[in-house]
Amino acid sequence: MAEVFDRLRATFRSGRTRSVKWRADQLRGIERMVIDHEAKLLQAMADDFGKPRFEAWMTDLMPVAVEAAHARKHLARWMRARWTWPGKANIPGRSWTMPEPLGTVLIIAPWNYPVQLALSPLVAAVAAGNTAVLKPSELAPATSAALARLVPQYLDPRGVTVVEGAVDVSTELLELPFDHLFFTGSTTVGKVVMAAAARHLSSVTLELGGKSPVIVARDADIEIAARRIAWGKLLNAGQTCIAPDYVLVERPVADRLVDSVTSAMASLEGSDPHLTRTRIVNQRHLGRLESLLKESGGQVATGGTVDHDERWIEPTVVVDPDRSSALMRDEIFGPILPVVVVDSLDEAIGFVNERDKPLALYLFTGSRATERQIIEETSSGGVCVNHVVMHFLVPELPFGGVGPSGTGAYHGLAGFEELSHRKPILRRGVRPDLSVVYPPFTEAKERLLRRIL
């Protein structure tokens, strides 16, 4: 690991990665890789956890190609200097900021979207002119192996290296003095990464998770809300950091929402679950979900069946679970949807604010006043009104968490800036060089400077 790091740091220090051409070439390489080898990558994800073909393309491959193309299109503009007013004290003079790459970046990717959450951070890293080590998840071994084979074919191997392995490899990498650590995963492991970064005073981007709530107001379009919530919850079998984790619904429309979500889940499943269901990643995670369901204390409105052979859990709705249960404390990361009935929007807001700040917050309403109230009175990494998950796909919207759901943001310009240092520069003229600013100071000099500045 140390040899890999030293090689990449030497490449960075050589200046090889700073040109627009090198950066654009890497971005074009990422885009071409996911297009040219679509079939191989889709098969790898199917081998790892049965991810349906279209869903894998839509959630893993297409977003990477869009992100890389967007960055390449805007790269020259992002790299320009930004002029600023130098202030009265520095006239004559000019001031500006210039983005410069951070250095050598470590990207630790998760298993749930094993292509997208590996390559989208890499887009930001190379667009900003950094060298990078990419560590795919060992829990998606086929995809990890595919990336290890393909990345050297499309990207500069002197600037980007894929390192495979398990926790021991990640631990060894975290001992090295990377200039920036980019981690996507659980809050628990995020704390470990931040502690490792602190040893070297490295900057970090932590894309974590948490319980992303859905608030359904009484004036929402219930049928559309139910279909979109069900879609977001069943996407990747709920194994999504911004999946709708639980629903807070106003009492007058609660029964109708539960019935509509139940119908929507059945419709989205289709007649053959093998064509639509992603598997739970492993038996340990399946067992955890089964325990959450057994101890929820709520009424199961639909679903609840667990198939250990297929590593499936039937799409499940739990109405009014025990609010202190693990189902309502822990991030679910599976196709189980708790629905909590509330008497008012104020109660829903209080419920959200009593808990850790989520990575995403979803709201369904027909009222702009309600929209303003929820946005102003809650805090979350991002907000999506009248849909779920889709804000992730907007290239120019920063994506990231706040507090326990993460720190830092990426996508588009935000990713470029996250992986850059915006260096401030001042150029002063040598004339005039007024003696009034130099000691010894007198009352007359002080009066003059106070009037000028």
In sequence order, what DSSP letters do the residues of 388-406 get, joined into one string? SSGGGG-TTS-EE--GGGE
pLDDT at 271: 83
The fold of the 213-400 domain, in CATH, is Aldehyde Dehydrogenase; Chain A, domain 2 (3.40.309)
pLDDT at 272: 85
Determine if the peptide bond prior to 440 is cis (ω within 30°): yes
Question: Cβ(114)–Cβ(60) under 8 Å?
Answer: yes
Bridge partners of residue 134, in order along the sequence: 107, 162
Question: Cβ(125)–Cβ(451) under 8 Å?
Answer: no
- What mean pLDDT is reported for the chain? 96
Determine if the peptide bond prior to 432 is cis (ω within 30°): yes
Question: Cβ(348)–Cβ(254) under 8 Å?
Answer: no
- What average pLDDT does range 420-447 have in this prediction? 92
What confidence tens digit (pLDDT) does each residue in 348-361 have?
A: 999 999 999 999 99
The fold of the 2-208+404-425 domain, in CATH, is Aldehyde Dehydrogenase; Chain A, domain 1 (3.40.605)
Question: Cβ(236)–Cβ(205) under 8 Å?
Answer: no
- What average pLDDT does range 201-226 have in this prediction? 97
**Catalytic residue set:** 207, 241
CA dihedral sign of residues 374, 375, 379, 383: positive
- What average pLDDT does range 24-36 have in this prediction? 98
Closest CA to 128 of 426, 392, 410: 410
CA–CA dist 210, 363 (Å, integer):
17
- What average pLDDT does range 11-39 have in this prediction? 98
Closest CA to 111 of 313, 423, 407, 333: 333
- What average pLDDT does range 232-240 have in this prediction? 96
- What average pLDDT does range 165-193 have in this prediction? 96
CA–CA dist 322, 326 (Å, integer):
9
Same fold, 2-208+404-425 and 213-400: no
The domain spans of the chain are: 2-208+404-425, 213-400
Strands 406-407 and 203-207: antiparallel
Q: How many CB atoms lie within 10 A of CB 397?
A: 14
- What average pLDDT does range 44-70 have in this prediction? 95
What confidence tens digit (pLDDT) does each residue in 82-111 have?
A: 999 999 889 899 999 999 999 999 999 999
pLDDT surpassing 90 at residue 433:
no
Phi first, then psi, for residue 111 (nearest 5°) are: -95, -20
